Amino acid sequence: MKQCIVLVLAAVMCGSISFGQTATPKVTKRQVHQQQRIKEGVKSGELTKGEAVRLEAQQHKIAVDKAEAKSDGVVTAKERAKLQREQDRASKKIYRKKHNAREAK
């Protein structure tokens, strides 16, 4: 009987852990990588100061959206998809800005 109760409690605890998914390691890793791309663009002169500021603001908005998604304790599939779309757009924008004709002075 005691062993059965322990098994039930363990199953409940494992189940509650899987429902409370707030970790977003892919989003975090990608955000770090995009920050590095922006810094490298500034360092190499591919990005102007204004471009870098706007790209950093976009990254900040993604971070705020990520915090908002985590605020209720669960990051849903819909929220993850939204974050991924935002990061896709940001990545494309970083690429376009780094490869345009403008150069930092």
Tens digit of pLDDT for each residue in 7-66? Answer: 555 555 554 444 457 788 999 999 999 999 999 999 999 999 999 999 999 999 999 999
Q: What is the mean pLDDT of residues 71-93?
A: 95
pTM of the model: 0.76
How many residues can be counted in the chain?
A: 105
In angstroms, rounded to a whole number, what is the distance separating the alpha carbons of residues 60 and 99?
A: 22
| Domain boundaries of the chain, sorted by first residue | 23-98
